[in-house]
Structure formats: C-alpha cells, structure tokens
Amino acid sequence: MKRSPLRRPGAAQIVSGVTVLGVVAALAVVTAAAAGPASGKASGLGGQAALAAAQRPGTTVSAATSRQLASVGSQVDSLVGRMTLAEKIGQLEMSGPTGPNGTPGQTLLDEVRSGEVGSVLDLVGVANINQVQQAALQSRLHIPVIFGLDVIHGYKTIFPVPLGEASSWDPTAVRNDASISASEATADGIKWTFNPMVDVSRDPRWGRVVEGSGEDPFLGSAMAAAKVRGYQGSGFSAPDKMAATVKHFGAYGAVQAGREYNTTDMSEQQLRNLYLPPYKAAVDAGAATVMSSFTSLNGVPDTANPYLLTTILRDEWQFGGTVISDYQAVQELEAFGYATSGAEAAQLAITAGVTIEMGVQVPSQFSTYTLYLAGLVNSGKVSMATINSDVRHVLTLKYLAGLFAHPLTDPNRVKTAELTPASLAAARTMAGRSMVLLNNNHVLPLNTSVSSVAVVGPLADNPSDQLGPDVPIGYAASDLTSVVSVLNGIKAAVPHATVTYAQGCDATCTSASGFDAAVSAAKAAAVTVVVAGEPASYSGEASSRSDIGLPGQQTALIQAIAATGKPYVVVLMNGRPLTLGWVADNAPALLEAWFPGTEGGNAVADVLFGKVDPGGKLPMSFPRNVGQIPISYNELPTGRPADPSNKYTSKYLDVPNTPQYPFGYGLSYTTFSLSNLHLSAGSISRSGSLTVSADLTNTGTVAGDDVVQLYIHQDGTTILQPVRRLDGFQRVTLAPGQTKTITLTLSPGDIGFYTNTPGQFVVEPGTVDVYVGDSSVGGLQGQFTVTG
C-alpha cells in the first residue's frame, strides 16, 4: 500500500477540475500490432476474434499504412541516434501534475523541458496540456509529451459502466461510444486512454468487474476489439482519435477471494482459454499499448513477468506497441518482496518487457527508471539495445498519435465537442440497450397514461452515483447538471402524471428514518418505482466487498414499499452482480440498469414505459449467495455432477449450484421462439468451418430485442472442455410475428483450445454438441463431428 500523495482523488469523487479544449492532427496510421499472429497456434485463438472482426473492417494493414510505418521507423531511428542516455530514459518515465488543483506545476514543466519525462498522467484541460507541451517543445530535441488518462466509459458524456455496455451484446454500439469518448477527450488534449479493461472475472466480490465485460472470453473479446477500434479508428493521429490500452495484462480478474490486488495462480490451459483471449483480441484489433497488471501470476509479479510480457505478448502475439506498468507498480516489486531494491525492481521490469514506468511522482522512490536505469546500463545489467528498443516504441507511439506533426491542441474544438446532441442520444440508446429485465410479473411496461408515480430510493435522484465509478479526472461538480436522474426522466416521460419523490435512505442506507415518507408516497401513488443499488464507490478499483447484497437496509426499504400492497417495480443501479435474496424472489418487476450514465434517467423511463424493449442479457452470473463464488456458466465438468438424489455429488447442502440469474439471461416485453436449427455440415476436418443457423420468431405482440447465443461443448478431449462455451451471438430486433434466420460461424479457432503445454492450440477429433438459445441455459441442440 504505497500510494503517493499525488494519487488522484477516488474515482467516485467528482472534483472541480480545470476544463478546456484542444485538437491535434496529422499522420494516419495503424499500429504494427494489427499484424496477425505469427504461429498457427496463436492464429487458432485469433479465429475467435475473427468472428467479431469479420463484422468490422480496418484490421488489415494497408499498403499506405505500411509505407507510413516505414517512414515513422526511419524518423524514429534518426531521433534515437541523436538522444543521450538521459533523454532516452526520460521517454520511459511517466509523470503527473505537480501543481495545486491538478495544474502542471513548475516541477513538471522543468522535467518536461529537460527531457526527464516523456508522458504525463492525469493532467486535463487544454490550457494545462498546451502549457506542458510548449515546455516539451523547448527540450533539446523537441520531443512532444503524450498525455494519458483513464477514459473508461466516457469523458463528459458518460455512458453506462463497461459491465453495462457488455450487457448490450452490441459491439457496434460499444464501438460508437468509445469513438465519442475519444472525440471528447482528444478535444481536451488527451491522446491516450487506459482502456479497454478486459479482465475476465468469475468473482463479483472484486470491485473491478464493473470495468470489464464479465465472465466470458468470447463476449469479452468482442467488446475489447470494439473499444479499441472505437478509440483508435483507422489511425489515432486523427484529431478525434486516441491510443487505446488493453489492461490489465494478464488475468487480473482471477484475484483470489475477489480481494483487490491479490494473487492469481492457475493452470496454463485456464490462463490461455479463459483469461487471455480478450487481451489477444484487443492486440489483434491494433491496440497501441498494453498495461501490465498489479498482480502476480503463478508466483511471478506481472510487472516483472517475461513469460507474459515477452514470450506471449511480443513473441507469440507479435505485439509491436508500448507496454506501460500500472500505477507505481514497478516500485511495488519491492513490496512484493520480489525485488530487493528499487534498482532491482527497475531491472526486473524493463527486462521483462515494461516499456514505460507509470511512476507519476518524478523523481521519487516511485520513479525507479529515472533513478536507476542509467546505473543499470552503465553496469551492464540492462543493455543499451533494450533501452533503444523501448525508446523506439515510445517515439513510434507519439508519431502514430500525430504528436510530432501537431503537438499542440486546438483550443477551440472543445467548445463544441462535448455533450453534443448526438453524443447524448448515443448515451441514451446505449443505456437502454444495456438494461436487463430480471423479473416481470406482468407489471412492466407501465402505462404512459398513469395518473401518479412515486419515485423512491437512494439512486432515484442521485446524479453522481448514477454515473458509477471511473468518471474521469476533470469531470467537475458542475458537469453533473447534464445528468438526467430517474426522477427527472420519469417526469419527462409522463408530464401529465403527478410524480412524487422520497429518497427513503441514502445509498449506504444505514438509517430507516426516511422510510415512512417513502411509504406515504407509495400509498398515495398508482405505482412506485424504487431505485436501489450500490453507491458508485462500492465498485471500481480498491472496492472489493465480501457481502454483495444491497447495502444497509435497502431490502427493508423495498419490503416496506411492498407491504403497502400497491404496485411497484425495482430498478437496480450497481457495478457488479448482487446477491438479491428476497428482492429477486419477490419483486414483481426487477430491472437491472447498472450505472447507466448521463442519460440514465431518460433511458430508465424509456424502458419502464415501454418506449424501449429491454433486450440486454447478463454478461456475468448473479449468484444466490457469496458462498457460490467463483461462479460462471462455463465451468469444467466434474466426475460427480450434481444429483439431488445422491449426496456424494458436486453440490452444496444449503443452496442449489445454479445462479440466481445465469449468464446470457434477460427478459423482454415480448416473447421469442427459436426453431429450425441447421448445421451446414455434419462433419468437418480439423481445419474446417461450418455455419449454425436457426430461426428466431417474435411470438408476442410488441417489437422487441433478443440475443441469439451459440454455445458448444466437446467430450473426449485431452483437456476437459467447459460444460458450455459461448462461440457466437447476435442481437436482433424483431417486429411482432417477424421471423429472422440467424447464421453464426464456427471456425477452428472457436472449436479448438489450448492445452497445458505452453502455446499449444489444438482442434481435436470428436463429437461437438451445439446449443443455440437466448441464455446459457436451455436452447436448441445439435451436433457435428470433427474428423481426425
């Protein structure tokens, strides 16, 4: 726990920040990382991403791009040839603001001018950014600085949290949101985001599940690639594009006991089959940078792990971009007891493959590259070749970001770039598409001619918590005026109705003193909307919980509303799957809205009143209780599958094995049926592909959305295969009575798997079971054979 005094404010705190504007321009390009995998084994995994990639153009490096990369290469080489060792080391260190209220401060300006740092974290506002860039341009070689920030689910227009976006199962819309985020952030001068976070997790106690796409590698891969393409476009030198970072490499989501920053330890096959695919998909989509994880894997801290950072990332995946450490994580190698000194920490990190140290405070004990790299080079412990190669990566990043051609940010674009009508419309659409209807006992949708609505609960009129964690630095308290709460969304949706509000309790709900007012409001209204959930600060970094129920007395508040006997619905805002207990069993309607962002209140109203059909599906299982964790649909088989009539089978005495709500689950206001499962082949060779199709029909009376999901399972393999594994999906909107044939493709990369031999990817002969449904449970069944 060595957090510097410069550590930025907690993600949930919204601070008054400096706001302003910017622009860049120039070069067009795609990173070298867009090149395909080198080995046949790796390309098998690439096939998974290929399904998603097939829908999205732009992954192939064009001849023009190749020429540009070549030209960047010669410019970089020429610059490296003129740099001193100190200037080279400067490029490998990241600093942060040193002045009051997030301003640059003289220390930062001086170190940038002298070439001691090459990148800056957490500085926002175009005036600040241009001031620092002017100083960088005064350095001996005029090398610009690149400014990085956590732009996770929006910059000023805040979209639903990533777990919510994943619930949309709509990579195209997710890509669009990332593109809008890039447009807003770059207007302020930020050219580098530390996103997408793609850590697969089976443990909702871990607070960071909110930042990712849930428990599944296939869905996670689609979301990862979509975000990279949204941020970077076809080249992040464009004024409104930015470099993306896939993080946290690797397998951070497997922290033991769901405890933040804890150990991860797993088999090779689990690492490769479950946790690595989304990182690989992001790299294949051209992610410019990769961030190493705070955690250790199999006894080696990721920040010093050559197997992850060099063998897998560089050698197998042919990643050609920049690797950045996590926040002061190089120095933390000492806290691990892995390095015995700061110098050894720097040596271990750079030789393992960490290009840039996110030291933030420079110089300090946290900037080990600044302090020790020169000595390590002079003593021969770190080679000049390593330094030169790393500096090339950083300079290439800056060239690709267009910073050499256009280092300064246009102060005008920000005046019109943020919170545009189109961005807000996209935020409203995504919030609606991310909502998952968990229960509905004929209560929803509400009638728009309703005479009165009571809106109660801690999240009902709470713009700050509604945004969720990971709102960027610089998002000011005044920005909250653009947030539409559920209360205001409902007022706008039913302007003729009497809408009353009673909070009941705050989000921690330690006191029931406001319950009476909420109950009175419910009694007086035709229907009550209870908006419950977690405070934003309960999820995100450093926010693990051992109890993932509704906080405090929130369940009692809902029970008090239920006891009125009047109709009510529950809307949830939270950053993780919750154990809902009584609420899951009793709420007549339960809508999971996640933290829905700026337009969340309008989107909740859209869904409650039936303007939008809730078509989202869970990207993560909701356990019944914490004792079931880790929990996921894609577990491996056991030799003693649960059998209620046999005690000696794999189960609990006190709770079923099944989750409260499974992965892929979500209701709609209409009903769907699937029929006519058709496989294009009964057998294929190991290198063959086939298509799987089925007819989806809207059998209800209103238009609605469903997500067709394709799962497979194979027995008789050399490594046990998950009982089910997602291998394809498509979200569909159908009018009442409409039928659509959905066709999904299975390629070797989807059918094969990694063994415990490092890097070995195999497709094995045998029978493959196919399931097509709209959840990870049930569905149509078929089979095909892979021949030897």
Nearer to ligand BGC, 316 or 326 (CB): 326
The single residue among 147, 192, 279, 327 that binds ligand BGC, judged by CB under 6 A, is 327
With 0-12 / 13-18 / 19 or more C-beta atoms within 10 angstroms meaning exposed / middle / buried, residue 678 is: middle
Nearest distance from C-beta of residue 411 to ligand BGC, angstroms? 25
Nearest distance from C-beta of residue 674 to ligand BGC, angstroms? 39
Q: Which of residues 533-572 bind ligand BGC (CB under 6 A)?
A: 541
Nearest distance from C-beta of residue 329 to ligand BGC, angstroms? 8
Q: Taking CB under 6 A as the rule, which mask of x and - marks residues 342-381 in contact with ligand BGC?
A: ----------------------------------------
Count of Cβ atoms closer than 10 Å to residue 344 Cβ: 18
Catalytic center residues: 326
Q: Tell me the sheet residues that pair with 499.
A: 453
Q: Taking CB under 6 A as the rule, which mask of x and - marks residues 18-57 in contact with ligand BGC?
A: ----------------------------------------
Nearer to ligand BGC, 248 or 393 (CB): 248
Per CB under 6 A, does 194 bind ligand BGC?
A: yes
Per CB under 6 A, does 111 bind ligand BGC?
A: no
Nearest distance from C-beta of residue 169 to ligand BGC, angstroms? 24
Nearer to ligand BGC, 194 or 399 (CB): 194
Q: Taking CB under 6 A as the rule, which mask of x and - marks residues 761-780 in contact with ligand BGC?
A: --------------------
* Paired tokens of 746: 């299975």
CA distance 318 to 243: 18
Nearer to ligand BGC, 162 or 666 (CB): 162
Q: Taking CB under 6 A as the rule, which mask of x and - marks residues 484-523 in contact with ligand BGC?
A: ----------------------------------------
Nearer to ligand BGC, 79 or 358 (CB): 358
Per CB under 6 A, does 475 bind ligand BGC?
A: no
Nearest distance from C-beta of residue 93 to ligand BGC, angstroms? 15
Nearer to ligand BGC, 397 or 580 (CB): 397
Count of Cβ atoms closer than 10 Å to residue 388 Cβ: 16
Residue nearest to ligand BGC (CB): 194
Nearer to ligand BGC, 11 or 589 (CB): 11
The single residue among 87, 150, 461, 606 that binds ligand BGC, judged by CB under 6 A, is 150
Q: Tell me the sheet residues that pair with 740.
A: 696
Buried b (16+ CB within 10 A) or exposed e, 436-464: bbbbbeebbbbeeebeebbbbbbbbbbbb
Nearer to ligand BGC, 194 or 761 (CB): 194
Nearer to ligand BGC, 7 or 566 (CB): 7
Per CB under 6 A, does 326 bind ligand BGC?
A: yes
Nearest distance from C-beta of residue 444 to ligand BGC, angstroms? 36
CA distance 438 to 665: 8
- Cα 640 to Cα 456, 647, 663, 721, distances in angstroms: 47, 10, 23, 15
Instruction: Please report the DSSP string for 289-354 in residue order.
Output: EEEE-SSEETTEEGGG-HIIIIIIIIIIT---SEEE--TTTTTHHHHHTS-SSHHHHHHHHHHHT-
Nearest distance from C-beta of residue 541 to ligand BGC, angstroms? 5
* Paired tokens of 212: 């990712």
The single residue among 247, 413, 433, 725 that binds ligand BGC, judged by CB under 6 A, is 247
Instruction: Please report the DSSP string for 686-741 in residue order.
Output: TT--EEEEEEEEE-SSS-EEEEEEEEEEESS-SSPPPS-EEEEEEEEEE-TT-EEE
**Residue matched to tokens 């050219």:** 191
Give the CA-trace dihedral at 98, 100, 106, 109, to 10 degrees. 60
Per CB under 6 A, does 711 bind ligand BGC?
A: no
CA distance 264 to 757: 19
Contact 343, 372 (CB under 8 A): yes
Direct distance between the N- and C-terminal alpha carbons of the chain, in angstroms, rounded to an integer: 53
Contact 719, 756 (CB under 8 A): yes
Nearest distance from C-beta of residue 178 to ligand BGC, angstroms? 16
CA distance 359 to 346: 11
**Residue matched to tokens 């950045």:** 324
Q: How many residues bind ligand BGC (CB under 6 A)?
A: 6
Nearest distance from C-beta of residue 475 to ligand BGC, angstroms? 14
Can you state the angle between helices 277-284 and 40-54, rounded to 10 degrees?
A: 70
Residue 192: which of 397, 9, 354 has the closest Cα? Answer: 397
Q: Which spans of this chain sit near ligand BGC (rule: CB under 6 A)? A: 150, 194, 247, 326-327, 541
